[in-house]
Amino acid sequence: MTQIEIHIALGTNLGDRRANLLRAIELLRARMQITRLSSLYETEAAYVTDQPEFLNMALGAQIDDQAMPPRDLLRFVNEIERRMGRERLVRYGPRVIDVDILSYGDRLVMEEDLIIPHPRIAERDFVLAPLQEIAPDLVLPGQTKSVSELARALPGIGKVMRVERLDIG
What are the tens digits of pLDDT across the range 33-84?
Answer: 999 999 999 988 777 777 788 899 999 999 999 999 999 999 999 999 999 8
Contact 37, 166 (CB under 8 A): yes
Known catalytic membership, residue 95: yes
**Average pLDDT value for residue range 92-115:** 89
Identity of the amino acid at 16? D
Known catalytic membership, residue 124: no
Buried b / exposed e over 88-104, threshold 16 CB at 10 Å, is eeeeeebbbbbbbbbbb
Active-site residue identified among 65, 95, 124, 125:
95
Residues in a beta bridge with 9 = 58, 100
pTM of the full predicted structure? Answer: 0.90
CA quadruple 147, 14, 74, 109: dihedral sign: negative
Phi, psi at 133, each rounded to 5°: -65, -35
Active-site residue identified among 86, 107, 120, 167:
86
The per-residue pLDDT for 152 is: 87
Active-site residue identified among 17, 98, 124, 125:
98
The per-residue pLDDT for 42 is: 92
Closest CA to 8 of 63, 47, 51: 63
Q: How confident is the model at residue 103 (pLDDT cuts 50, 70, 90)?
A: very high
The per-residue pLDDT for 122 is: 85
Helix/strand/coil percent split, the chain, to 5: 25, 30, 45
Active-site residue identified among 31, 36, 64, 100:
100
Instruction: Flag whether pLDDT at 157 surpasses 60.
Output: no
The per-residue pLDDT for 156 is: 63
Known catalytic membership, residue 72: no
Known catalytic membership, residue 98: yes
- Burial class of residue 144 (count of CB atoms within 10 Å of its CB; 0-12, 13-18, 19+): exposed
Q: pLDDT of 126-151, one tens digit each?
A: 899 999 999 999 999 988 999 999 98
Residue 64 in 3-state DSSP? strand
- Give the chain's mean pLDDT: 88
The beta strands (E) that lie in the chain are given as: 3-12, 33-37, 40-43, 54-64, 98-104, 109-111, 114-116, 160-164
The per-residue pLDDT for 169 is: 62
Closest CA to 59 of 139, 150, 167: 167
